């Protein structure tokens, strides 16, 4: 039993695409099955529950180890880690109580357990702002082909398939060398990869056939730490906002003269919001002259200008759309917003972030206010209420800010509204020198497959990259990780504008949820009506009634 528990833990704990694609394949096919086989050696249900709690909770803590980079978030983050360990572990322990011995594990129970866990994972999206991290199905994204079924059933459909495949292995343990049983499991395990190969091959051919006009995109990565952007007590003297803009212009200088359709900057890339008067127009013009040898026409500007002036000037100079993350306010509401500036346009379009980070971007409970004030958090952003799509220079553009791109149903709304390219603006610097940038990227990449559209990401410290509509990485900048600082740079890439309709875009998570609920109900009814005691009691009751008559 011990060997099975340890082996399964190592396989599943390492099943992260950036750690071991091979372990991702093993975990998707049999990692959980090995654990359940070991767990079933315990006769006591209490011991099974405890084993499953500790095992799965430990796996989640390892997968989410980036949370322990507490430099900016403080030691209270460890309370969250403990909560994740206990809550996710307890949910998996509850699910594992329904896993039976291989001889008793009927196909209805296999499907019901897979459907039940899928429902549990989906429901996590609606606690506070939602916990979208690390669904079981993410293991299938260890390979490009493995993740393609998300275009039909989304990432939670991949979760269903992983659990279903592992339970089929568990049933196989009755007759592990029977040809028919082994062939059935192998067919189930290989289905995502065979489907994915066909899917990628088909869309590559379609992309070549359609010959869509490519998009020329520049993605800016400033690589600045929080204390370098704004004043922190006891920290170094930060770059002034003017110097931050000069620094970004210097990064863009090497792309001067190139054809550019879109410039993308990260979330809250500079302080002081959108139109707060911080700069003199002459200073902006001088910075442009230094970087691009061109002077701006400032004759109509008689007062100080804000960050929007820089963004609009860049849109005009490069004749390109500029997407940029800035704080913004109107009346008494403050937003974490994304803006699109079009060349020579007098108005800019704004998108308000819809999913706010609890304790960081909004205060969920009144009792938190005193505690959060110690970290400089005194109020909350106002969340946005809708997806928005902007008419871009070549294709309609959708926006997401930070980790809301990990919510498939929200990005699906953007796609349904007509977006052909998804822009994500992120700042993952709050967990420095950790796995967060890459883990965040892995979750965001899933949206390209689910919605059949390309994605560009600009992050302050990474991952800054372009992804095509089948989830393939097109270009990437060096990002921050353990022992390595990110590179300040501007990435120029040519991205295919090829898009395609997906079943997930039209049906969303409802398809897999209806399936999951139906399978749980069928198993419940099957178990209830096949119970001999139930039938005996009913027959006895019927007989008594007949005698009374």
Q: Which DSSP state fits 479?
A: -
Query: For residue 481, how many other CB atoms are within 10 A of its CB?
Result: 19
Torsion angles phi and psi, residue 337, rounded to 5: -125, 160
- Give CA torsion, residues 234, 430, 423, 504, to 10 deg: -160
Write the CA distances from 57 to 8, 88, 139, 439, 515, integer angstroms. Answer: 13, 6, 17, 18, 27
Are the beta carbons of 5 and 35 closer than 8 angstroms?
Answer: yes
Burial class (CB in 10 A: 0-12, 13-18, 19+), 450: buried
| Distance of alpha carbon 53 from alpha carbon 82, whole angstroms | 12
Asked if residue 472 lies in contact with residue 439, where contact means CB atoms within 8 angstroms, the answer is no
Name the DSSP letter for residue 384. Answer: P
CATH 3.90.1150.10 at 212-506, yes or no: no
Give the tokens for residue 330. Answer: 């109107």
Distance separating alpha carbons of residues 289 and 30, to the nearest angstrom = 61
Classify burial at 197, counting beta carbons within 10 Å of its beta carbon; exposed 0-12, middle 13-18, buried 19 or more: middle
pLDDT in tens, the chain (549 residues): 899 999 999 999 999 999 999 999 999 999 999 999 999 999 999 999 999 999 999 999 999 999 999 888 888 899 999 999 999 999 999 999 999 988 888 899 999 999 999 999 999 999 878 999 999 999 999 999 999 999 999 999 999 999 999 999 998 876 655 556 678 888 999 999 999 999 999 999 999 999 889 999 999 999 999 889 987 666 678 899 999 999 999 999 999 999 999 999 999 999 999 999 999 999 999 999 999 999 999 888 889 999 999 999 999 999 999 999 999 988 778 999 999 999 999 878 899 999 998 877 877 766 566 665 655 565 678 899 899 999 999 999 999 999 999 999 999 999 999 999 999 999 999 999 999 999 999 999 999 999 999 999 999 999 999 999 999 999 999 999 988 999 999 999 999 999 999 999 999 999 999 999 999 999 999 888 776 554 455 545 545 444 444
What's the token pair of residue 501?
Answer: 């309709």
346/90 Cα distance (integer angstroms): 55
Strands (E), 444-509: 455-459, 465-467, 473-476, 489-495
Residues sharing a CB contact under 8 Å with residue 324, sequence separation 6 or more, in sequence order: 264, 265, 269, 307, 311, 338, 339, 341, 425
Residue spans per domain, the chain: 2-208+509-535, 212-506
Q: Which token pair is 189?
A: 């395990």
If phi > 0 it is left, if psi is from -120 to 50 it is alpha, else beta; for residue 111 that is alpha
CA distance 265 to 259: 18
Tokens representing 402? 């930070």
């Amino acid at each position: 039993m011990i060997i099975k528990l340890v082996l399964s833990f190592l396989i599943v704990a390492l099943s992260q695409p950036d750690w071991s694609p091979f372990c991702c394949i093993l975990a998707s096919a049999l990692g959980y099955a090995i654990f359940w086989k070991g767990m079933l050696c315990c006769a006591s249900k209490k011991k099974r529950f405890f084993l499953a709690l500790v095992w799965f909770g430990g796996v989640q803590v390892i997968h989410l180890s980036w949370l322990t980079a507490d430099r900016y978030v403080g030691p209270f983050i460890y309370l969250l880690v403990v909560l994740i360990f206990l809550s996710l572990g307890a949910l998996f322990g509850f699910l594992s109580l329904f896993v039976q011995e291989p001889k008793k594990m009927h196909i209805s129970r296999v499907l019901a357990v897979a459907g039940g866990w899928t429902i549990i994972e989906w429901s996590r999206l609606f606690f506070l702002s939602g916990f979208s991290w690390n669904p079981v199905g993410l293991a299938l994204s260890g390979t490009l082909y493995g993740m393609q079924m998300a275009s039909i059933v989304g990432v939670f459909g991949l979760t269903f398939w992983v659990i279903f495949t592992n339970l089929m292995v568990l049933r196989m343990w009755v007759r592990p060398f029977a040809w028919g049983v082994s062939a059935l499991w192998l067919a189930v395990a290989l289905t995502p990869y065979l489907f994915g190969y066909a899917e990628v091959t088909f869309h590559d051919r379609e992309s070549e056939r359609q010959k869509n006009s490519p998009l020329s995109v520049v993605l800016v990565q400033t690589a600045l730490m929080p204390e370098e952007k704004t004043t922190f007590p006891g920290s170094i003297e930060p770059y002034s906002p003017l110097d931050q803009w000069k620094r970004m212009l210097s990064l863009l200088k090497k792309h001067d003269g190139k054809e550019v359709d879109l410039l993308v900057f990260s979330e809250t890339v500079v302080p002081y919001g959108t139109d707060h008067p911080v700069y003199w127009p002459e200073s902006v013009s001088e910075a442009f002259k230094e970087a691009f040898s061109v002077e701006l026409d400032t004759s109509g500007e008689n007062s100080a200008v804000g960050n929007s002036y820089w963004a609009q000037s860049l849109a005009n100079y490069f004749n390109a759309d500029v997407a940029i993350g800035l704080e913004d306010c109107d009346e008494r509401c403050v937003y974490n917003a994304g803006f699109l500036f079009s060349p020579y346009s007098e108005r800019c379009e704004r998108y308000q972030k819809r999913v706010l980070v609890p304790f960081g971007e909004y205060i969920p409970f009144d009792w938190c206010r005193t505690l959060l004030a110690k970290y400089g958090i005194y109020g909350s952003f106002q969340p946005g209420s809708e997806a928005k799509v902007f008419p871009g220079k070549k294709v309609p553009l959708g926006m997401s800010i930070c980790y809301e791109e990990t919510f498939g149903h929200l990005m699906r709304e953007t796609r349904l509204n007509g977006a052909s390219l998804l822009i994500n603006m992120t700042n993952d610097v709050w967990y420095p020198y950790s796995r967060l940038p890459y883990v965040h990227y892995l979750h965001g990449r899933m949206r390209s497959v689910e919605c059949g559209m390309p994605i560009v990401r600009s992050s302050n410290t990474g991952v800054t990259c372009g992804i095509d509509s089948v989830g393939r990485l097109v270009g990437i900048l060096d990002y921050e990780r353990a022992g390595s600082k990110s590179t300040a740079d501007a990435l120029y890439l040519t991205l295919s504008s090829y898009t395609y309709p997906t079943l997930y875009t039209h049906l969303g998570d409802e398809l897999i949820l209806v399936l999951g609920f139906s399978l749980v109900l069928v198993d419940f009814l099957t178990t209830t009506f096949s119970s001999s005691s139930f039938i005996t009691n009913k027959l006895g009751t019927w007989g008594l009634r007949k005698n009374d008559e």
